[in-house]
Chain A
Amino acid sequence: MTEHMKLSRRGFISTMLGTGGALVMGLSRPVVAATLGAKPWDSFGEGAAFTPWLQIDPTGKVTVYVTHPDIGNGVVTQACSYIREELACRWEDIRAEYAAPERDHALGGVYSEVGGPLGYFSGRSTFEDRRTAYMTAAAGARERLKAAAAEAWGVDASEITAEEGVLSHASGQSAPYAEFVAAAAAVTLAEEPAPKPREEWTFLTKASPAKIQIPEIVTGRAVYGLDVRPPGMVYAALRQSPVMGGQLVSYDFEAIRDMPGVRAVVEVKPTEPGEPDRIKPAFPLGASVTGSAIAVIADHYWQARTALDALPVVWDDGPGAKWLNIEMMEEAAMAAVRAPGETVELSVGDVAAEFEAGGTVVEAEYLTPYCDHVQLEPLNCTALITENSAEVWAPAQHTQQAFFVTVQETGLAPEQVKLHQTYVGGGFGRRVFGDDTRMAVAVAKGYPGVPVQVIWSREESVRQGRYRPLMGAHMKARLDDDGLPSALQMRVSGGPGFFSNGLANTAFPLVVPNAQIESTVVRDFHIKAGPLRGPGYNSFVFFHESFIDELAEAAGADPLDYRIRIYEKWEDEGWVKILNVLKEKSGWGTPLPTGQARGVAIGNWGMGGRPQHGTTLGAVVHAEVSTEGRVKVHRIDVAFDSGRVMNRDAVQVQLEGGAIFGLNLAMNEKLNVQNGRIVEGNYDEYPLIRMADTPEIHIHFEGLTDHDRYDEIGEPPVGPVGPALASAIAQITGKRPRSQPYREHDLSWGGGEA
């Protein structure tokens, strides 16, 4: 490592970088994911780098290096907001650039050392360590600009103000930042300034800038994964073993060899079991391994796809084919929760003794199905592989993981790999593990020297998912004389990779005096699970909150008041505060016409069993069910406590979108299985809410407790909306949907025909 690089790791260098300098820094200019702003800048790479996070060019334009891909949550804009707060530049002078993972590698973890790779190359832009890194960088640049001006003007730096990109002094001296960028880059400060305390913020928490990349999006200029067009690129249409874990037996290339544009067929063999890690990954590389697959490569995508459809292929389905239908898998999951679990997740007091004491005991079973992310941009990735290099363009949700899997799949040294982060057409957890990147690299390896864009058709994307896992739950509770539970037993099950982390994302078992939670893995489920917006949480909140609703019913209590009585025992005031806000704002308790009702539910994403952690969120759903059983949701009220919020409008739109996501998950989504294969492939079989189905949504900020945290917003609504709707349905119809999606249930009532 050169001296130059070592310096850069200490947080503060200021070095003029010419083109050569930029190369020394290991900075690869992303060819495709150029600037996120309105116009790419020609001057890129010519400015002064104030730490690896920030560069200012000679005209005063600011480039912010962002490690976390924006999947629609505004994280890039948030990074720019931190810079704006401390640098006091003009908002319109800020552009963002994705930081290259190869730069991180070349500089010994210059980005990932802050907060660790998991936190740093995915979302969570509002977490404190990341905020501090950006604000420290910007404060240092500002003070250097002041120092440079002070020297030129012969005044004290402390007398200079910096505002809206202009330095000024009481003497009447004034100049734009641009004038002092070069001089500032050479300044050494006696001490690095600390970021401003919250009380002095003028931009953060006050301004609500819209996402800076929107001008690119609405003109069609934004380059998503499917939009990259490196010179000479060809296309690959991909098909993987229709039954996960199956193997390719044979194919007949001769049948398609002469079809227009066809160049080759590439077979991808499954990753060898037990393959050693070639690099230390963010997520275990086992989650990214490739299965058996085949790809047709052609000049144009339509040619590749047409030829793939015509290609005779024989598969050996493997053991997964034994699951003839989804009911068999559901029965296996439920059988697992009807016996004591393999693992005790939580054990407090003596549950068995309580149950033996008699009294009111309530029992219920629940189930959530496999669901796909169905992000609008189907899976894809473009790769150019040669003997000694790899260049990859990925719509990754975790840039660094995409880099790691490329190293792993190619066997190249990390220094030989370049990873370009593109815009991402929806993530929701699907593009985190890097299995898509790895498959594309595996295909491109089979057709080296030419950039290959590997495209999953929508059907392939849906049928080869890493799904919200199928999970079963058995719940049992005993009520005390006051109607509140004195004992709770919960048994949950799912296939390999299911998420028991959701257990820690509710206060419920923590406030019941005797509680036991057990889990069991159903090992022969062959279908792969992965994180889907609030993994684990989006099933566990349904289990817990539906069950609380049943307990309230058994106790003859109002469901909202009953929850207040339960959660007032928890040492985080946010829960009750949220419930009270909902009670006041949602019209709770006011009369509704026959066939309509309101249901409520509450949960927390991220608390991990601790008070004042994560984001607590409650929802009231006002729904109508026709006597024939058709459900219409009129209104959703959401109140939440993430502690505080940074960008109010960004929070508002995320919560609206998350509420719709949670509603769809509960109402509509389920994948079926036939002989081990996923049945549904496209939106005609996997319905999504559209404009006409979207209810009125009210987001209430009054639940915020002002606790010192800015917690996550994307996942929290996905948990409670579903059980709140189930509650409303149960009140109207007398039929409680204990499995999702609700559209599968006969919800007719009052003599109506289904």
Chain B
Amino acid sequence: MAFTLNVNGTDMEVDAAPETPLLWALRDHLRLTGTKFGCGIAQCGACTVDIDGVATRSCQFPVEAAEGVKITTIEGLGAEGEHVLQKVWTEMNVPQCGYCQSGMVMAAAALLKDIPEPSDADIDLYVDNICRCGTYPRVRQAIHRAAELLKA
């Protein structure tokens, strides 16, 4: 079946079974591979994208439900790394292997939109993605730093 998805501000056609997870429509059909496959059961958060302003795990979001919404992936957050989180992540040496970090950044971006000056507890709540390398201390510091920069 053909679906029209609005991804990063552009309408795109996907021909897939209705129950196909948005994750695979993005990665496989649209070749937007910045959104990662980690678990397939909405546990790890590597597949986090923004759907109408809400950080959403795309591995449990069927493509048939993705019509008529606005989807932003890591590629659309700041294609040249201009988003404050991308800058801070780079300066503060946040990623290790980096595989979970698209999802981390997308979750953090949604957090800062909702709560421009998040507390540690807010960060715990919004950014519950899994990082096997253990970058959590740096992720936390980087979110606080980004919040400071946004305030300035």
A binding-site residues for B, Cβ under 8 Å: 38, 70-73, 210-211, 213-215, 217-224, 226-227, 229, 235, 260, 300-303, 306, 373-378, 423-428, 455, 457-458, 649-650, 653-654, 656-661, 682-684, 688-692, 694, 697
Contacts and interface: CB of A to CB of B under 8 A. Distances in A.
B9 interface: no
Interface string B69-112: 00001110011110001100111111111111110010000000
Given A300-B16, A694-B137, A218 B81 contact: yes
Contacts, number: 188
Given A301-B24, A684-B43, 7 more contacts: A215-B90, A221-B34, A376-B100, A377-B97, A377-B99, A425-B99, A657-B96
Nearest to A228: B33
Interface string B118-141: 000001110111111111111110
Contacts of A694: 134, 136-137, 140
B38 A458 contact: yes
A690 B36 contact: no
Contacts of A692: 124-125, 128
Nearest to A423: B98
Contacts of A213: 98
B109 to A, nearest CB: 11
Contact of B90 (A218, A229, A375, A659): A218
B39 A223 contact: no
A650 B135 CA distance: 12
Contacts of B16: 300, 302
A219 B95 contact: no
A302 B79 CA distance: 27
A649 B93 contact: yes
A426 B78 contact: no
A120 to B, nearest CB: 21
Contacts of A423: 97-99
B58 interface: no
10 contacts: A70-B97, A213-B98, A217-B98, A219-B80, A373-B132, A425-B98, A427-B97, A428-B132, A689-B134, A694-B136
Nearest to B46: A376
A657 B135 contact: yes
The 5 A-B pairs with the shortest beta carbon distances in the complex, nearest first, are A220-B34, A425-B99, A72-B97, A72-B96, A660-B134
Given A214-B95, A301-B28, A653-B138, A376 B33 contact: no
Given A302-B16, A682-B43, A377 B96 contact: no
Interface of B: 16-17, 20-21, 24, 27-29, 31-41, 43-44, 46, 73-75, 78-81, 85-86, 89-102, 105, 123-125, 127-140
B143 to A, nearest CB: 10
A9 B28 CA distance: 43
A217 B131 CA distance: 14
Contacts of B138: 653, 656
Contacts of A458: 38-41
Contacts of A689: 134, 136
B48 to A, nearest CB: 12
Contacts of A688: 130, 132
B132 A375 contact: yes
A73 B135 CA distance: 12
A301 B27 CA distance: 10
B29 to A, nearest CB: 7
Contacts of B97: 70-72, 375-377, 423-427
Contacts of B125: 692
A691 B140 contact: yes
A81 B105 CA distance: 27
B33 A226 contact: yes
Nearest to A717: B134
Residue among B37, B44, B97 having the largest count of chain A Cβ atoms under 10 Å = B97
B1 to A, nearest CB: 10
Given A229-B31, A229-B33, A302-B24, A684 B99 contact: no
A72 B130 CA distance: 15
Nearest to B95: A217
B132 A426 contact: yes
Nearest to A424: B97
Residue among B31, B81, B127, B136 having the largest count of chain A Cβ atoms under 10 Å = B136
B123 A691 contact: yes
Given A377-B99, A457-B40, A691-B128, A426 B33 contact: no
A376 B134 contact: no
A211 B43 CA distance: 27
Contacts of A218: 74, 81, 85-86, 89-90, 95, 101-102, 105
B149 to A, nearest CB: 15
Nearest to B101: A217
A725 B44 CA distance: 26
A246 B102 CA distance: 38
A302 B31 CA distance: 14
Contacts of B86: 215, 218-219
Contacts of B78: 219
Given A73-B96, A653-B93, A376 B132 contact: yes
A360 B80 CA distance: 68
Contacts of B33: 220, 223-224, 226-227, 229
Given A227-B33, A425-B99, A426-B97, A690 B39 contact: no
A749 B48 CA distance: 41
B132 A682 contact: no
A378 B24 CA distance: 15
Contacts of A691: 123-124, 127-129, 136, 139-140
Nearest to B135: A657
Contact of B98 (A72, A302, A457): A72
A682 B17 contact: no
Nearest to B139: A691
Contacts of B28: 235, 300-302
Contacts of A656: 134, 137-138
Contacts of B41: 458, 682-684
A395 to B, nearest CB: 9
Nearest to A300: B28
Contacts of B81: 38, 215, 218-219
A163 to B, nearest CB: 24
Contacts of A374: 132
A660 B41 CA distance: 23
A562 B44 CA distance: 42
A660 B137 CA distance: 10
A374 B99 CA distance: 12
Contacts of B37: 226, 378, 455
Contacts of B17: 260, 302-303, 306
Contacts of A72: 95-98, 133
B134 A690 contact: no
Contacts of A210: 90-93
Contacts of A70: 97
Contacts of A375: 97, 99, 132
A214 B24 CA distance: 24
A214 B36 contact: no
B129 to A, nearest CB: 7
B133 to A, nearest CB: 5
Given A221-B34, A656-B134, A682 B98 contact: no
A375 B46 CA distance: 12
